[in-house]
């Protein structure tokens, strides 16, 4: 499952196939998104990122810090199994593990993002997999699932939150930050390359999460002085 960068398995990144039992959920981020993030990570590696130590511990849901509730939004995670979908460099996950005492699992579909994360956080549980594939093949209980501008928001929401709901314990928590709709363009650019973000209003997130079996859905705005703003959502099982 874990295709390393430069392994020549770029075909594995197409992400458009579906897995049996997924209800038609694409197992990957889709060809555009995964290519964008892989290219981004390779550029960072070429710029020497693997040799750079991580910065000071931090957990951030936002880009600017405005209205950012930090890791407190996850509650007490001591001893809990916490999964981040789309962990990137793993800095947020490291905070949850090192400062919060969680058993953390970081999942990212981009092999080079995972390579960056492993260089920063050796010994961490970091998996190179699409979010849906991970949820369909992992079997241990998940107490908390979160995503910071990660898989939630970068793939179709309904099938993904349905899978997450299926895998979360009761009680369990899903928390994520995504781009807010409205002033944002449908396809914001990343370093000049287009990625596809799936945008929903707070009302639409609430509706689709309740339909998937979540309760106590709460939404809040952050990065409010910026365009686009950020939406932070929590939902409980
Ligand atoms: C904007 S970055 C955020 C990274 C990290 N959460 C952070 O805040 O620094 C989005 C990440 O999500 C990953 N990603 C996108 N879609 C994914 C999917 N379906 N499954 C797993 N990872 C995904 C990308 O490879 C990328 O590393």
Give pLDDT tens digits for 146-183.
999 999 999 899 999 999 999 999 999 999 999 888 65
| Range 15-236: architecture per CATH | 3-Layer(aba) Sandwich (3.40)
Q: Is the whole-model pTM more than 0.95?
A: no
The secondary structure of 82-130 as a DSSP string is EEEES-TT-HHHHHHHHTT--EEEEEES-HHHHHHHHHHSTTSEEEES-
**Strand order through the sheet with 81-85:** 125-128, 103-108, 81-85, 142-148, 168-179, 230-236, 215-222
| Ligand 1: residue whose CA is nearest its atom 19 | 29
Q: Which atom of ligand 1 lies closest to the CA of 91?
A: 9
Residues 6+ apart with CB under 8 A from 192: none
Ligand 1 proximity of 26 Cβ (cutoff 6 Å): no
Per-residue model confidence as pLDDT tens digits over 73-90? 999 999 999 999 999 999
CA of 204 to the centre of ligand 1 (A): 22
Diameter over CA atoms, the chain:
45
Query: Domain residue spans in the chain?
Result: 15-236
CA of 217 to the centre of ligand 1 (A): 23
Q: Which atom of ligand 1 lies closest to the CA of 129?
A: 21
């Amino acid at each position: 499952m874990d295709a390393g960068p430069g392994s020549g398995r770029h075909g594995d990144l197409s992400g458009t196939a579906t897995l049996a039992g997924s209800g038609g959920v694409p197992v990957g981020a889709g060809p555009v998104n995964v290519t964008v993030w892989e290219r981004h990570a390779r550029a960072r590696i070429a710029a020497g990122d693997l040799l750079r130590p991580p910065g000071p511990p931090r957990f951030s849901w936002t880009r600017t810090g405005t209205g950012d509730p930090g890791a407190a939004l996850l509650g007490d995670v001591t001893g809990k199994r916490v999964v981040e979908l789309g962990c990137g460099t793993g800095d947020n996950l490291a905070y949850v593990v090192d400062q919060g005492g969680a058993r953390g699992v970081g999942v990212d579909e981009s092999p080079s993002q995972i390579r960056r994360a492993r260089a920063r956080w050796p010994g961490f549980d970091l998996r190179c997999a699409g979010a849906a594939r991970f949820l369909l093949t992992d079997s241990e209980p998940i107490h908390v699932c979160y995503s910071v501008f990660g898989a939630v928001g970068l793939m179709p929401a309904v099938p993904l939150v349905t899978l997450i709901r299926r895998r979360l314990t009761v009680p369990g928590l899903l928390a994520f930050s995504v781009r807010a709709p409205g002033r944002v363009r449908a396809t914001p650019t990343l370093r000049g390359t287009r990625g596809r973000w799936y945008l929903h209003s707070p009302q639409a997130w609430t509706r689709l999460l309740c339909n998937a079996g979540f309760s106590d859905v709460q939404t809040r705005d952050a990065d409010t002085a910026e365009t686009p703003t950020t939406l932070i959502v929590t939902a409980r099982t």
